[in-house]
Amino acid sequence: MSKAYTKAGVDLNRGYEVIKRIKRYAKTTDREGVIGDIGAFSGLFGLNPNKYREPILVSGADGVGTKLLLSSRFSKHDTIGIDLVAMCVNDVITAGAEPLFFLDYIASKKSDPDQIEQVIKGISEGCRQAGCALIGGETAEMPGLYQGGHYDLAGFSVGVVEKADIITPEGIIVGDKIIGLASSGIHANGYSLVRKILSKNQALDLDRFDPVLKTTPKNALMEPTRIYVKPILSLIKEVSVKGVAHITGGGFYENLPRMLPNNVGIAIDLANIPLPPVFCWLEELGKLDRMEMYHVFNMGMGMAIVVAKEDALKTVELLKTYGEAPFIAGEITDTLGVFFK
């Protein structure tokens, strides 16, 4: 142990304690393909050569933005890891890929083993929900960069899909239907706006039950992101899925066009999309324009799926059996862009 390094603000013993605690949680996410254990210089994963013809690896990296500041403010660290996994694996599944493994990066001024254990607890829960393994990561103490109890998170996921089964926009045509999957709330985007609203309403008691939210504001704000991997993997075995969009930062306007070819647009039927109470609460508290919110938030639709018109009702029924709350959110049109009807 270097006394000089400790005096500089980095305690290696805390890092060793963190690794010891992480191993226990990582073990609960093991799946076929995992090689070795947490603590090596790299994470190893083997593809079964008999399972794939032309395997294509699909990767995703993301963070949870300034939702982290609320996690620190509320001293609630056990679900932010679910958000981290969700933001990555929900991107990977848009290509039709099964997430195989996940790695995390946690940086802070000073490693707090109890705090990091709670974060890892959430990450391992997210990995179990997605069916992927936590095979490695990094924790870093950087006292010159981070202040107080603040920390930063990043996640990295790798999945696999058969080359012939990659979801691409080429087959999308006018008349195809958009099937929406309900969000659990804000997920992990738009929190800079959320925090600005809270800063202008500092007298608000975030621990007090709110009749609009039907819970406390704290609970509503920290509700973790839904992970849609397993239902979509099940769906693509039964229905020809033409497109998938993860509704994240930028809301409807930025994310829906990302799954489309250049010659079509989307008409959204807002009446069919159930709006979580937290968005009504934010709208009133922040005096926001409802339509502007569709540029920022998921507004109740965490994932959008394109299927042929004749497959729409079957898709809805199948997704219900997978535990989702699906709805027909709109259709593909010959008018470019995203518009509402």
Dist. CA 229–CA 55, nearest whole Å: 18
pLDDT band with cut points at 50, 70 and 90 for residue 262: very high
The full 3-state SS of 69-116, as one line of letters, equals HHHHHCCCCCCHHHHHHHHHHHHHHHHCCEEEEEEEEEEECCCCHHHH
Helix segments in the chain, DSSP class H:
3-7, 12-27, 67-73, 80-92, 113-130, 191-199, 217-222, 229-235, 251-255, 277-286, 290-293, 312-321
**Does the domain spanning 3-165 belong to CATH 1.10.287.610?**
no
Q: Does the pLDDT value for residue 202 go beyond 80? A: yes
Dist. CA 211–CA 132, nearest whole Å: 38
Q: Does the pLDDT value for residue 1 go beyond 70? A: no
Q: What is the pLDDT of residues 242-251, one digit of tens each?
A: 999 999 999 9
The pLDDT assigned to 145 comes to 87
Q: Are 183 and 311 in contact (CB under 8 A)?
A: no
Q: Percent of the chain beyond pLDDT 90?
A: 85
Q: Considering the entire predicted model, what is its pTM? A: 0.94
pLDDT band with cut points at 50, 70 and 90 for residue 38: confident
Q: What is the pLDDT of residues 97-139, one digit of tens each?
A: 999 999 999 999 988 889 999 999 999 999 999 999 999 999 9
Q: Does the pLDDT value for residue 220 go beyond 50? A: yes
Q: What is the pLDDT of residues 39-71, one digit of tens each?
A: 888 999 999 999 999 999 999 999 999 999 999
Q: Does the pLDDT value for residue 331 go beyond 90? A: yes
Q: Which amino acid is at 52?
A: Y
Q: Does the pLDDT value for residue 7 go beyond 60? A: no
Please give the residue that has the higher pLDDT: either 21 or 184: 184
Q: What is the pLDDT of residues 145-186, one digit of tens each?
A: 888 778 999 999 999 999 999 999 999 999 999 999 999 999
pLDDT band with cut points at 50, 70 and 90 for residue 325: very high
Mean of all residue pLDDT scores within the chain: 93
Backbone angles phi, psi at 44, to 5 degrees: -115, 140
The pLDDT assigned to 176 comes to 98
10 Å CB burial of residue 144 (0-12, 13-18, 19+) is: exposed
List of residues 6+ apart from 276 with CB closer than 8 A:
183, 184, 185, 300
Give the Cβ contact number of residue 277 at 10 Å. 15
Q: Does the pLDDT value for residue 5 go beyond 60? A: no
CA 68 to chain centre: 14
| Domain definitions of the chain by residue range | 3-165, 169-340
Q: Which amino acid is at 161?
A: V
Q: What is the pLDDT of residues 269-289, one digit of tens each?
A: 999 999 999 999 999 999 999
The side-by-side arrangement of strands in the sheet containing 55-62 is: 55-62, 151-162, 98-108, 133-141
The pLDDT assigned to 8 comes to 47
pLDDT band with cut points at 50, 70 and 90 for residue 4: very low
pLDDT band with cut points at 50, 70 and 90 for residue 12: low
Q: Are 64 and 84 in contact (CB under 8 A)?
A: yes
**Does the domain spanning 169-340 belong to CATH 3.90.650.10?**
yes
The pLDDT assigned to 43 comes to 93
